[in-house]
Amino acid sequence: MFVRKIGIDLGTANILVFVPGKGVIINEPSVVAISLLENKVLAIGNEAREMLGRTPDTIVASRPMRDGVIADYRITEAMLKYFINKVSGRFRLVRPEVMVSIPAGVTSTERRAVIDATIRAGAKTAYVVKEPVLAAIGAGIPINNAAGNMIIDIGGGTCEVAVVSLGGIVSAYSARVGGNKIDQAIADYVKRKYGLSIGDRTAEEIKIKIGSALPQVKEDFIEVRGRDLTGGLPRTIRISSNEATEAIQDELREVINSIKKVLQDTPPELAADIMDKGMVLSGGGALLRNLDQLIAKTIGVPCYVADDALNCVIKGIGSALENLDLYKRTIMLSK
């Protein structure tokens, strides 16, 4: 395969890979399984996710990205190499140019770590672009206009809030709260209230099936299986959607506070634009039921969920890769 350019959405929960002309060709969990005995990578992506919470002592299945940044450099590099090789072949004539998304709040050291890992994994050049900008492009927001647009991108590890104008970020805040923290809050609530230990995947299932940002008059229910903390035996309980809402209040408050922080730092002219146009929600977290209503009600500004919210960042990477000249102000190039 002759691939010159690759776009990678390096998320805490999932990795998506875009190739111009072909679209998104890989969408796999950012999970790596490692054998401790041989100190080598056993599985990456879908195969490794199946091992989460089910491995013996000699195998560790973990997420090398934490809160949107590299937590384990060596494993992230192995993961990037795996995906670049999967797209462009192990034996290639040309090293591809790779564009990678990074959170808005990363430090220069964290940014450098992403660039180094990408180049060592086989890239000729690494472009790094901040996630809120990419999410805005993917949501169809004209970021190069002299008008303020607010994007709220809630991923697996971070909530990125930014006001974008003239191709750049005017004010931004990155909170380390996202889908994973929401899952953890649900698991902790079930443990506290029912004395039942449940895994991350069960907590995620509760969030997806009955989770809501606002209490509901007509409640939904789900049966949950887990391990009883007193007897140690398996047990089944029934949880309501309003209990799930109660469980995630702290995390939702953190998202609201992030939006308030950014609005307080926004110039008045741009704040007026946001009042007119409203705020745009993207990322997997945007799919939580009634989240747009909660934000609109609390902040007092209209809020909308972007079309195909889950894939806004990778769609933005695709647009930026295909129109590098148009978005050159927003792209940081590193050899």
Task: Give per-residue pLDDT as tens, 2-53.
Answer: 668 899 988 888 889 998 888 888 888 888 888 888 888 888 888 888 887 7
Decide: 64 and 10 in contact? Cβ < 8 Å: no
Residues 143-194 have pLDDT tens digits of: 888 899 999 999 888 899 999 998 888 999 988 899 999 999 999 999 999 9
Decide: 106 and 69 in contact? Cβ < 8 Å: yes
Give the total number of structural domains in the chain: 3
Please indicate, yes or no, whether residues 28 and 78 belong to a single structural domain of this protein.
yes
Please indicate, yes or no, whether residues 120 and 173 belong to a single structural domain of this protein.
no
Q: What pLDDT is recorded for position 93?
A: 72
pLDDT at 84 > cutoff 70: yes
Average pLDDT over residues 107-128: 87
Final residue of a structural domain among 247, 264, 297: 247
Please indicate, yes or no, whether residues 283 and 205 belong to a single structural domain of this protein.
no
Assign 66 a pLDDT band (cuts: 50, 70, 90).
confident
Please indicate, yes or no, whether residues 304 and 326 belong to a single structural domain of this protein.
no
Residues 189-207 have pLDDT tens digits of: 999 999 999 988 899 999 9
Q: What pLDDT is recorded for position 335?
A: 38
Q: Which helix (H) or strand (E) holds 335?
A: none
CA 202 to each of CA 50, 70, 208: distance values in angstroms, whole numbers, following the listed order:
13, 25, 10
Output the CA angle 228-230-233, nearest 5 degrees.
Answer: 40
Q: What pLDDT is recorded for position 220?
A: 92
Final residue of a structural domain among 204, 221, 247: 247
Write out the residue range of the structural domain in which residue 262 sits. Answer: 142-177+251-308
Average pLDDT over residues 231-249: 93
pTM score of the predicted model: 0.87
pLDDT at 86 > cutoff 60: yes
Assign 334 a pLDDT band (cuts: 50, 70, 90).
very low
**Residue 204, both tokens:** 């995620």
pLDDT at 234 > cutoff 90: yes
Please indicate, yes or no, whether residues 20 and 91 belong to a single structural domain of this protein.
yes
pLDDT at 259 > cutoff 60: yes
Chain mean pLDDT for the chain? 88
pLDDT at 107 > cutoff 70: yes
DSSP state string for 105-172: T--HHHHHHHHHHHHHTT-SEEEEEEHHHHHHHHTT--TTSSS-EEEEEE-SS-EEEEEEETTEEEEE
Average pLDDT over residues 268-289: 93
Assign 320 a pLDDT band (cuts: 50, 70, 90).
confident
Please indicate, yes or no, whether residues 150 and 270 belong to a single structural domain of this protein.
yes
Q: What pLDDT is recorded for position 91?
A: 63
pLDDT-above-90 percentage for the chain: 45
Q: What pLDDT is recorded for position 313?
A: 92
Please indicate, yes or no, whether residues 157 and 238 belong to a single structural domain of this protein.
no
Q: What pLDDT is recorded for position 90?
A: 65
Phi/psi at 278 (5° precision): 90, 175
**Amino acid symbol at 253:** R
Tally of helices (H runs) and strands (E runs) in the chain: 11, 19
Please indicate, yes or no, whether residues 238 and 93 belong to a single structural domain of this protein.
no
pLDDT at 213 > cutoff 70: yes
pLDDT at 255 > cutoff 70: yes
pLDDT at 324 > cutoff 80: no
Assign 329 a pLDDT band (cuts: 50, 70, 90).
low
Please indicate, yes or no, whether residues 183 and 59 belong to a single structural domain of this protein.
no
Average pLDDT over residues 218-235: 92
Please indicate, yes or no, whether residues 11 and 106 belong to a single structural domain of this protein.
yes
CATH of the domain at 169: 3.30.420.40
Final residue of a structural domain among 247, 268, 286: 247
Report the C-alpha gap between 246 and 34 in whole angstroms. 37
Please indicate, yes or no, whether residues 20 and 102 belong to a single structural domain of this protein.
yes
Please indicate, yes or no, whether residues 172 and 301 belong to a single structural domain of this protein.
yes
Q: What pLDDT is recorded for position 273?
A: 93
pLDDT at 333 > cutoff 60: no
Number of other residues whose CB lies within 10 A of the CB of residue 18: 27
Residues 280-310 have pLDDT tens digits of: 999 999 999 999 999 999 999 999 999 989 8
Residues 132-146 have pLDDT tens digits of: 999 999 999 988 888
